[in-house]
Amino acid sequence: MTNAVKSFDAAEIRKDFPILRQLVHGHPLAYLDNAASAQKPRAVIDAISRFYSSDYSNIHRGVHALSERSTRLYEQGRVQVQRFLGAADAHEIVFTRGTTEGINLVAQTWGRRNIGAGDEILITALEHHSNIVPWQMLCEERGARLRVAPVNDRGEVEKFEFTERTKLLAMAHISNVLGTILPVREVAAAAHARGITVLVDGAQAAPHMKVDVRELDCDFYVFSSHKLYGPTGVGVLYGKSALLEAMPPYQGGGDMIRTVTFEKTTYNTPPYKFEAGTPDIAGVVGLAAAIDYVNEIGIDNIGGYEHELLGYATRELEKIDGLRIIGTARRKAAVISFVLEGIHPHDAGTILDRYGVAVRTGHHCAQPLMDWFGIPATTRASFAFYNTREDVDALVRAIHKAKEMFA
């Protein structure tokens, strides 16, 4: 264990998260469903409450004090996201409702302009449905083909095969099911050498590791606020300026326009032409507060601590007879999916909940990956920097209780 990890005080950090203080069915809450959605620190809760209490108004067009304050906070949030991702300009940051909408935005704007009959879109077998279905819909509409880079038994993508017809590579940065970390920078470089555009689903990566979109050299990067300890309903699409400039609007309405007549409408510049209507202003304020909170702790400190916790959890779970971990990639984030012999994941999750342990069960919006492993579902424990070894121990004890019930 490194000195930095030794000095990381997760027990102290837990005090910043009011929801973690409660008992569930008489047991201390061990919240291990962070890949689905992370909990919110007091700093985020207070920032949203303060905004609604003293600053709220609609943005951009008002000339009164509240509107100017709201606009300033909203656009400051954009700058904070830009810096968090290492983007070159704040205008490369588009606010969406989440990762899913960001991917759909690219599919319906960039995709319709650049994907034609016979073209190919390459994804991986690790993808969340949100990085599968929009491309299936686009391929069906445009007469294109969706190709899939397979995974090995460890849950790693060993080879990305591009062809002359490959126009887009859409890949996860980290698998939400297995925790596999994909080599985005190297694969993006190989794709760009062939003129292929690259989109990265960073929903699982942004909360757990440093992301620098210019270093990765991806063309698009998407993530969600609610996994980064911010509020739900807000997401981010990063896109290189030249691509955003060339893309048509996604939706029509207020704030994405420059001029409107009954004969013709001219559109605003990016990112505003992709943000039709009143946005989730308070959500952006909350996301900005979450980024400040993560930055204060340090994303490298977070990643180092979570890696140590993953190692401890893996060793403890491997001691349990009849438990098999699905996904053993050499580069892996703090996610463990597993199956228990003779116990359906839904039953396992229900029993674990009775002991205060919150995990996710099911196919995790990755049915094709479940099919590849020949299983209907898994139980998934996913960790955050506020989790402790005591949470892992509670998980292990609850699994033994489940095994006793099914013995």
Q: Taking the complete model, does pTM exceed 0.85, yes or no?
A: yes
For residues 120 and 139, give the distance between their C-alpha atoms in angstroms, rounded to a whole number: 8
Residue 108 pLDDT greater than 80, yes or no: yes
Question: Do 3-38+298-401 and 45-296 come out as alike in CATH topology?
Answer: no
Residue 61: predicted pLDDT:
82
CA 368 to each of CA 40, 217, 270, 352, 365: distance values in angstroms, whole numbers, following the listed order? 31, 28, 35, 26, 9
Say if residue 1's pLDDT is above 80. Answer: no
- Confidence band, pLDDT 50/70/90 cuts, at residue 62: confident
Residue 355 Cα distances to 31, 334, 361, angstroms: 11, 22, 16
Inter-residue contact 382 to 389 (CB < 8 Å) = no
Helix and strand element counts for the chain (H, E):
15, 17
- Give the pLDDT band of residue 407 (cuts 50, 70, 90): confident
382: tokens are 């996913």
Catalytic residue, candidates 365, 367, 368, 406: 365
List beta partners, residue 337.
326, 380
Q: Would you say the C-alpha torsion 139, 143, 149, 150 has a positive or negative sign? A: positive
- Hey, what are 29's tokens? 């809450």
- At residue 39, the pLDDT reads 98
257 close to 265: Cβ distance less than 8 angstroms: yes
Question: For the domain bounded by 3-38+298-401, which CATH number is listed?
Answer: 3.90.1150.10
Measured at the CA of 34, the angle between CA 333 and CA 278, to 5 degrees, comes to 115
Provide the pLDDT confidence category of residue 233 given band limits of 50, 70 and 90.
very high
> pLDDT tens digits for 308-350?
999 999 999 999 999 999 999 999 999 999 999 999 999 999 9
Of the pLDDT bands very low, low, confident and very high (cuts 50, 70, 90), residue 283 is very high
β-partners of residue 123 are 148
Cis peptide preceding 376, ω within 30 of 0: no
Q: How confident is the model at residue 5 (pLDDT cuts 50, 70, 90)?
A: low
Q: How far apart are CA 107 and CA 91, in angstroms?
A: 20
pLDDT for res 6: 54
Token digits of residue 178: 């297995």
Is 218 annotated as catalytic?
A: no
The DSSP secondary structure of 98-114, one letter per residue, reads SHHHHHHHHIIIIIHHH
Q: How far apart are CA 12 and CA 313, in angstroms?
A: 20
**CATH architecture of the domain with residue range 45-296:** 3-Layer(aba) Sandwich (3.40)
Report, as an integer, the average pLDDT of 61-81.
96
Measured CA to CA, the distance from residue 46 to residue 301 in angstroms comes to: 24
Structural domain spans, the chain: 3-38+298-401, 45-296
Q: Quick one: which of 173, 195, 197, 170 has its CA closest to 183?
A: 173
Beta strands in 54-103 (DSSP E): 93-96
pLDDT tens digits, one per residue of 358-385: 999 999 999 999 999 999 999 999 999 9
Confidence of residue 8 (pLDDT cuts 50, 70, 90): confident
Q: Are strands 27-28 and 335-340 parallel, antiparallel or unpaired?
A: unpaired
Short-list 223, 233, 225, CA closest to 291: 225
